[in-house]
Amino acid sequence: MTGVPLLDQHLLSVLIGLPLVGAAALLFLPREGHRTIRNVTFLFTLAEFLLSLLVVARFESGTAAMQLVESVPWIPRYGIGYIVGVDGISLWLLMLTTFIMPITILSAYSSVQKHVKEFMVFMLILATAMVGVFVATDLFLFYVFWEMVLIPMYFLIGVWGGERRIYAAIKFFLYTFVGSVLMLVAILALYFHHYAVTGTYTTDLVKLYSLTIPVKMQFWLFAAFFLAFAFKVPMFPFHTWLPDAHTEAPTAGSVILAAVLLKMGTYGFLRFAMALFPVAASDFTPLIVTLAVIGILYGALVAMVQKDVKRLVAYSSVAHLGFVMLGLFALNLQGIEGGILQMINHGVSTGALFLVVGIIYERRHTRLISEFGGLSRVLPVFAFCFMVITLSSIGLPGTNGFVGEFLIMLGAFRTHMWHTAVAATGVIFAAVYMLWMFQRVMYGKVTQEENLRLEDMNGREVAYMLPLLLLVFWIGVYPQPFLRRMDASVAAFVTRFEAQKQAALRGSPAGETMLVRYFDSGK
Amino acid sequence: MTPIAMDTGALVRGLYCILPEMVVIGTAILVLLADLLLPEEGKKRLCHLSVAGVAAAILSALWLGPGKIEGFSGMIVHDGMGLFFTLTILAAALLTLMMATGYSEWEGTQKGEFYALILLSTSGMLFMAEGTDLMTVFLGLETLSIPIYCLVGFHRGRMRSLEGAMKYFLLGAFSSGFFLYGIALMYAAAGTTRIPVIASMMRDARLYGNPVFLAGIGLLLVGFAFKVSLVPFHMWTPDAYEGAPTLVTAFMGAAVKAAAFAALLRVVLLTFPAILPAMSGVLWVLAALTMTVGNFSALLQNNMKRMLAYSSIAHAGYILVGLTAGGVAGGQAVLFYVLVYAFMNLGAFGVIMLVAQREDDGYDIDNFAGIGFRYPVLGGLLSLFLVSLAGIPPTAGFVGKFYLFGAAVRSGYVGLAVLGVLNSAVSVYYYLRPVVSMYMAPAPEGIPVPRPPRSAFSFALCASAAAVLLLGVMPASALEFAERSVLSLLM
């Protein structure tokens, strides 16, 4: 490798560790110095982002293997290691995380006024955990980071949230925790199965990939992983925690939740549930795709009738994540690449939407659509940003949303024609609820006296909105740099998926029903 | 029994083997003597003396090392597992006594007998953990229990304290009866009370199926179940835990449990493989019941001490999952968890001792409102201990549960592991309630002012916190030590 070898060897660990160092540094700052605390946090997250650009620079798009791998024995006698790496599947999710962090910190300059120090400490711990989730390629390490995410987020919602914050925080924690504990049992079962077959203990994901798991076992393990990830995504009908968490969380919390935390679920499906248990994943596909389509329509319809802008955006997330799931379970190159790209797009667009909502909430202390109207004349810069983000969320050609949804439908149409046809109507619904909301908030007469006195976006707000807008158009017009770096990994994923599925199905007669395959004890 | 030959070499070897116990007992006697000589204002020296004694005991245990030393013709053995539990128990005692520096001053337990009782009870625990003869185990059990009865009722003026002590004493006496009767029946069937001899007899199936022997082992199990408060033998726990001086509660949760599980593990690991099919069902049901009843009862509590009492029942259930799984993996998981539990339990009680001062409602969860931001160190520490109790990474509680449930999955008890993790999910709700109260609930006018901790107290809290984090992030060496300890027993 070229460049600074030492940094290259430990690049991902540095990315994991840097926010923690920042959090430790904050502890030594006086708690009254809000300005210093904010600036120091911002600098740490910015440094994190700049360092992560190095990952893109070092990334080789020609290979599907894990890159920038670092492997250190952790509990060596039991084959548990600290193993991190990136490939085409995790690269952009890692980048999304480091990209969104400085933006949310900037947004929190004005929106968080109490307990600033603790807020920033939790944000930095959260950053470490999120980066860890996306780069961990050891099941044990992944699970540690996966659960570690919960605690700072729980505090962010519960302490800095809205009126029903405690309810929302506990609901968020319990729902996602219940989902993930069963995954822990599944991880253990997989771990001992690997031992039984090969005689060595390991939680190294790459080694586990090469294992052919008996189909009956796949069913149960997939079910456990499914539950953990379905709660996180969240898929219909596991989504009920999301509107509460989103609505009650502070702006920065909502942005992180939407942009990164939900992606942990979809990423988990791709990286773990589907990759490890291909037979079960294929057999579950009709169910999952159906749930995804229900999610798309249900999310859109419920979003349409919301009175609170933030709640509307929260339900739109359910719909968007339905699209991502549809793409992933198309199980072909276009669908999966579209799914990954749409994860990024959703992070950018919905993250930006929450920021937009945060900006007017800070000025008016309400998010009710009926309180607004005619804002476009009062706030021209804001109106422009809001418009672009709205269009990107709808998926207008030229914006990022279009590319992602188009690829997803291209892929899904080949495998699930009718589902895709129904899902396409979701795009129309999205246009309806978003544009209708936009119209009621931004156009028409100014109905409220105080809306006339609102101030337009200030320099800081423009500064954090601008990168998001750029990304909207960049991905919308020229997505090739993003897709090219996924190609090799996704293609390898599809190939391995098919091969592993055939290997596991060897011995099963063609046309075997699921009932016989998984539940016939005579087999 | 064969008469014990009184040759001097054997006696010296025996005494050498129980060196840590002797140091602890010697300290207890010294404390009682010094109590007579010291003036009233010098009583805090008693605490320092006790701390020094326990520290010396730890050093002597380390000096003995993990090699196997038998004493008193095999009545007691200092082996790897004995060392592991000795260190766990002594660490718990050391932390308890360090916390006593402050606690005794506030609560008026600055008395010679308080420390002497703690030390004597500790010596009983050590005998229990190293006893290889059922009689030694029983003597250890009594030596540990009787001082604890006194300690629970130490606040003679408080009804709660007396009520707890009375309940604990009555039920404890019953359980000792069960225990002893079990030993008698086993002796009747086997003709010996040596655990290894019984184990080898069972391996060649001479005892298997003997109803007298099975009844004996059943009664023995009931006796243990009382001590580690397994459902349905747990009724005394909430009252005793709530009534006892908080320091004693913390000590009971950490050390008594460790000692009882040490003896239980020795009996189970050595003898149960032979009768596993019959016994594993019993243990399975006990574990499932204990976890579930403990957690669901804890959900309903508003008093921190009571909540942690039920949580300790639930944790006994988790540990029993490891015992049910059995084998090296199960034993190792139990050892590691007992160690981890000692730290997180003592730590949590330590913070509670500082915050809660009024006896009546001081321990209410609502009373912790607003503590988190006003006293960030205390709030952070309590949160850390509770998160670890809930089993969330990156704390030691998570690694401990990972290995307990891992052992269960490995032995084929997937259902029990599923039940265990679901129980952990339930427990999150009540462990987070104090956190909600500390950080999220609106702070009342008068936030209680915590007591300023003495330096030894602060050190004990920080040491517990460091242990919880260290065993969570770097558990490898402790796990290997636990594994070697179990192997030393089975070899």
Residues A75-124 have pLDDT tens digits of: 888 889 999 999 999 999 999 999 999 999 999 998 888 889 999 999 99
Distance from CA of A237 to the nearest CA of B (A): 20
* Interacting residues of A212 by C-beta distance below 8 A, sequence separation 6+: A500, A503, A504
Query: Are the beta carbons of B421 and A74 separated by less than 8 Å?
Result: no
Longest CA span, chain B: 71
Q: Is the dihedral of CA A473, A478, A484, A485 positive or negative?
A: negative
Please check whether residue A115 touches B, CB under 8 A.
yes
Please check whether residue A134 touches B, CB under 8 A.
no
Instruction: Please give the torsion angle defined by the CA atoms of residues A7, A11, A13 and A16, in that order, rounded to the nearest 10 degrees.
Output: 120
Which 3 state secondary structure label does DSSP give B22? helix
User: CA nearest B306: which of B256, B236, B217, B405?
Assistant: B236
Closest Cβ–Cβ partner in A75, A182, A185 for B475: A75
Residue A79 β-bridge partners: none
DSSP conformation letters of B248-266: HHHHIIIIIHHHHHHHHHH
Nearest CA in chain B to A76: B476
The parent domain of residue B374 ranges over 10-490
Instruction: Give per-residue pLDDT as tens, A165-196.
Output: 899 999 999 999 988 899 999 999 999 999 99
CA A337 distance to own-chain centroid:
15
Residue B95 lies in a domain: yes
Distance from CA of B437 to the nearest CA of A (A): 10
Question: What number is the average pLDDT over the span A459-482?
Answer: 93
* Strand boundaries in B170-270, DSSP class E: none
Distance from CA of A482 to the nearest CA of B (A): 33
Query: Are the beta carbons of B373 and A118 separated by less than 8 Å?
Result: yes
Is residue A10 pLDDT above 80, yes or no? yes
User: CA nearest B258: which of B186, B336, B357, B311?
Assistant: B336
Q: What percent of chain A has pLDDT over 90?
A: 73
Residues in A touching B480 (Cβ below 8 Å) = 77
Identify from A120, A146, A185, A187 which residue to disrupt to test chain B contact, counting B C-beta atoms within 10 A and taking the largest count: A185
Give CA–CA dist B108/B177, Å, rounded. 34
Query: Are the beta carbons of A77 and B483 separated by less than 8 Å?
Result: yes
Question: What number is the average pLDDT over the span B171-192?
Answer: 91
Question: What number is the average pLDDT over the span B431-460?
Answer: 84
Residue B5 lies in a domain: no
The parent domain of residue A11 ranges over 5-519
Residues in B touching A145 (Cβ below 8 Å) = 393
Identify from B291, B436, B477 which residue to disrupt to test chain A contact, counting A C-beta atoms within 10 A and taking the largest count: B436
Nearest CA in chain A to B428: A174
Question: What number is the average pLDDT over the span A1-5?
Answer: 57
Distance from CA of B393 to the nearest CA of A (A): 5
Nearest CA in chain B to A172: B429
Residue B1 lies in a domain: no
Query: Are the beta carbons of B436 and A169 separated by less than 8 Å?
Result: yes
- Of the pLDDT bands very low, low, confident and very high (cuts 50, 70, 90), residue B276 is low
Distance from CA of B344 to the nearest CA of A (A): 18
Query: Are the beta carbons of A77 and B393 separated by less than 8 Å?
Result: no
Residues in A touching B392 (Cβ below 8 Å) = 147-148, 150-151
Residues in A touching B405 (Cβ below 8 Å) = 184-185, 188
Query: Are the beta carbons of A178 and B410 separated by less than 8 Å?
Result: no
Size of interface A-B (CB pairs under 8 A): 81
Long-range CB contacts (within 8 A, 24+) of A191-194 = A191/A79, A191/A139, A191/B406, A192/B406, A192/B409, A192/B410, A193/A217
Please check whether residue A77 touches B, CB under 8 A.
yes
- Token pair of A316, please? 């739109």
* Interacting residues of B95 by C-beta distance below 8 A, sequence separation 6+: B254, B343, B346, B350, B460, B463, B464
User: CA nearest B52: which of B119, B103, B6?
Assistant: B119
Half-sphere exposure of A324 (CA within 13 A, CB side): 29
- Of the pLDDT bands very low, low, confident and very high (cuts 50, 70, 90), residue A423 is very high
- Of the pLDDT bands very low, low, confident and very high (cuts 50, 70, 90), residue B373 is confident
Averaged pLDDT of chain A: 91
User: CA nearest A400: which of A326, A351, A348, A354?
Assistant: A348
User: CA nearest A378: which of A443, A469, A439?
Assistant: A443
| Cα distances (Å, whole numbers) of residue A439 to A281, A299, A315, A433, A444 | 42, 20, 18, 10, 7
Instruction: Give per-residue pLDDT as tens, B27-46.
Output: 999 999 998 888 888 888 88
- Of the pLDDT bands very low, low, confident and very high (cuts 50, 70, 90), residue A1 is very low
- Tell me what pLDDT residue B360 has: 58
DSSP letter (8 states) at residue A452: G
Residue B48 lies in a domain: yes
Query: Are the beta carbons of A182 and B417 separated by less than 8 Å?
Result: no
Nearest CA in chain B to A195: B410
Closest Cβ–Cβ partner in A144, A158, A185 for B405: A185
Please check whether residue A118 touches B, CB under 8 A.
yes
Instruction: Give per-residue pLDDT as tens, A313-371.
Output: 999 999 999 999 999 999 999 999 999 999 999 999 999 999 999 999 998 888 888 88
Residues in A touching B476 (Cβ below 8 Å) = 74-77
Give CA–CA dist A96/A104, Å, rounded. 12
Which 3 state secondary structure label does DSSP give A82? strand
- Tell me what pLDDT residue B205 has: 66
- Tell me what pLDDT residue B7 has: 76
Angle at B267 between CA B262 and CA B273, to 5 degrees: 125
Closest Cβ–Cβ partner in A154, A155, A184 for B421: A184
Nearest CA in chain A to B390: A177
Number of domains within chain A: 1
Instruction: Give per-residue pLDDT as tens, A353-362.
Output: 999 999 999 9
Give CA–CA dist A391/A349, Å, rounded. 9
Query: Are the beta carbons of A185 and B417 separated by less than 8 Å?
Result: yes
- Tell me what pLDDT residue B144 has: 93
Query: Are the beta carbons of B418 and A182 separated by less than 8 Å?
Result: yes
Give CA–CA dist A320/A244, Å, rounded. 17
Interface of B with A (CB under 8 A): 373, 376, 387, 392-394, 398, 402, 405-406, 409-410, 414, 417-418, 421-422, 424-425, 428-429, 432, 436, 439-441, 475-476, 479-480, 483
Averaged pLDDT of chain B: 88
| Tokens 């099941």 sit on residue | A139
Closest Cβ–Cβ partner in A165, A173, A185 for B432: A173
| Cα distances (Å, whole numbers) of residue A63 to A13, A66, A268, A441, A484 | 21, 8, 21, 48, 11
Instruction: Give per-residue pLDDT as tens, B106-142.
Output: 777 778 889 999 999 999 999 999 998 999 999 999 9
Nearest CA in chain B to A158: B440
DSSP conformation letters of B417-436: HHHHHHHHHHHHHHHHHHHI
Query: Are the beta carbons of A192 and B406 separated by less than 8 Å?
Result: yes
Query: Are the beta carbons of B429 and A77 separated by less than 8 Å?
Result: no
Please check whether residue A418 touches B, CB under 8 A.
no
- Tell me what pLDDT residue B55 has: 95
Query: Are the beta carbons of B483 and A143 separated by less than 8 Å?
Result: no
Is residue B304 pLDDT above 60, yes or no? yes
Is residue A495 pLDDT above 90, yes or no? yes
Please check whether residue A174 touches B, CB under 8 A.
yes
Query: Are the beta carbons of A181 and B422 separated by less than 8 Å?
Result: yes
- Token pair of A321, please? 């994540």
- Token pair of A501, please? 């599925």
ipTM over 0.95: no
Please check whether residue A173 touches B, CB under 8 A.
yes
